[in-house]
Amino acid sequence: MDKLQLHRTEIKAAPLLERFPFPFQGDSYRYSNNSRALTPPVCTDITPEYYEEIEEKRKLLDRYPERTFQAAPHTLEAQWEIMSMLMKELASVHADYFSLDMKGDQWTFYNRLLDETCTFVFGDPSTLPYEPLDFIGRHIQEDLIYLQQRDGDLYMDAGQLCFPANWSLAFDLGMTYLQFHSPVPIYSDSGLAEKVLGFLLRMEAGKPWTRINWTLNVGPRLDTSPEAFGEWGREKFGLNLDNVGEIMHLRSEDQRLFRIPGSNGILFSIHTHLLPFQELIRNQVWAERFCKVLEDLPDPLADYKGFISYKPLLIEYLKRHI
């Protein structure tokens, strides 16, 4: 039996519909800097999907290391700083599940959910089984991206990305903020991307921010990487009014941003949540608002998000259940 199946602790939380981060505040949607101060200033959430998602994360990391973890050599010091921050947070905020014993440079990290213990020398990579960012990422549900600030810009220099919404860490590594956002219509050519970059460059340590991003998922698959398009892309061709409620999911990404003071970079975490349409319509306010958002959404955005071909079907389904 897989180790992740053993001695599972029950993770208590509200039902999915109650805790899902619904991304729309109005009846239309446009790209904007919708960031808000993160209160409380916590990067990690532990949800009942923890075991399933960690198991999937580790399988992807082992099977496809080149597309799920990338890090430039000069990021190692920042990785240690991020791992330290996250371990201390887990041991403090989620003390029922994690603990951390620090005796000088010898640290011991306990994950009670997985019944795992790791003792290592902080700062010595030979004492960890993986690079620090990769190691801590295997214990949390969030994807982790590190943006290094230098020369008045932000560079994607490291990341553990197992659950991307159709973008590639291997392709984007080393790019600047404006470069890796260049495919995004309206956002990249309206001047908004430059404004958001300025906002990020001014971020202060100890004052994290959060935002909710969204797209749509055909099926419950979290890994929608372009490298795996052949596995998930074909699923959209079988949609109809009878199965769309079960198959289609609203995909909401809880994105959090932390200035890492020692390296002066930014940690960008992504916690992905999926809500089937058949669950979404149980909240009539959400269903009506989402329907209006889809009706109002410009075609370039629907095309970029990958659902323009079946957008009318989604709207019809929602209208039938409002």
Helix, strand, coil percentages for the chain (3-state, nearest 5): 40, 25, 35
Distance separating alpha carbons of residues 14 and 110, to the nearest angstrom: 26
pLDDT per residue over 207-243, tens digit each? 999 999 999 999 999 999 999 999 998 888 889 999 9
pLDDT per residue over 9-29, tens digit each? 999 999 999 999 999 998 887
C-alpha gyration radius of the chain: 20
Other beta carbons less than 10 A from residue 308's beta carbon: 14
- Token couple for 12: 């208590």
Distance separating alpha carbons of residues 147 and 78, to the nearest angstrom: 10
Beta carbons within 8 Å of 231's beta carbon, 6+ residues apart = none
CA 64, 123, 38 angle in degrees (round to 5)? 70
What is the helix (H) or strand (E) element at residue 58, kind and residue range?
Answer: helix 50-63
Is there a catalytic annotation at residue 211?
A: yes
Beta strands in the chain (DSSP E): 36-37, 69-71, 98-103, 106-111, 116-121, 143-150, 153-160, 209-218, 248-260, 265-276
pLDDT per residue over 186-211, tens digit each? 676 678 889 999 999 999 999 999 99
Distance separating alpha carbons of residues 272 and 254, to the nearest angstrom: 6
Beta carbons within 8 Å of 202's beta carbon, 6+ residues apart = none
Q: Which residue among 138, 211, 234, 256 is the active-site one? A: 211
Helix axes 311-320, 284-296, angle to 10 degrees: 150
pLDDT per residue over 285-303, tens digit each? 999 999 999 999 999 999 9
- Token couple for 189: 């050519």
Distance separating alpha carbons of residues 19 and 22, to the nearest angstrom: 9
Amino acid at 215: T
| Domain residue limits, the chain | 3-320
pLDDT per residue over 127-155, tens digit each? 999 999 999 999 999 999 999 999 999 99
Q: What is the pTM of this model?
A: 0.95
Peptide bond connecting 40 to the previous residue in cis, omega within 30 degrees of 0? yes
**209 beta partners:** 37, 257
